[in-house]
Amino acid sequence: MHGGIGMTDEHDIGFFLKRARVAEMTFGDAAWHRDRYARHESY
């Protein structure tokens, strides 16, 4: 995205990426949700 700048505290993108990683670990990633939905719908 911004190279090394994207991980600094000077830009908002680093904040959003950190939050997205924490949310992924807490609530599961996209693959986990797809598998869960497939099991629920009996695929």
Helix (H, G, I), strand (E, B) or coil at 38: helix
Please give the tally of structural domains in the chain. Answer: 1
**Whole-structure pTM over 0.85, yes or no?**
no
Answer yes or no: is pLDDT of 9 > 50. Answer: yes
Q: What's residue 6's pLDDT?
A: 47
- Residue 39 has a pLDDT of 94
Query: Domain range spanning residue 11?
Result: 3-40
Residues whose CB falls within 8 Å of the CB of residue 17, separated by 6 or more in sequence, listed in order: 6, 7
Query: pLDDT tens-digit profile of 23-38?
Result: 999 999 999 999 999 9
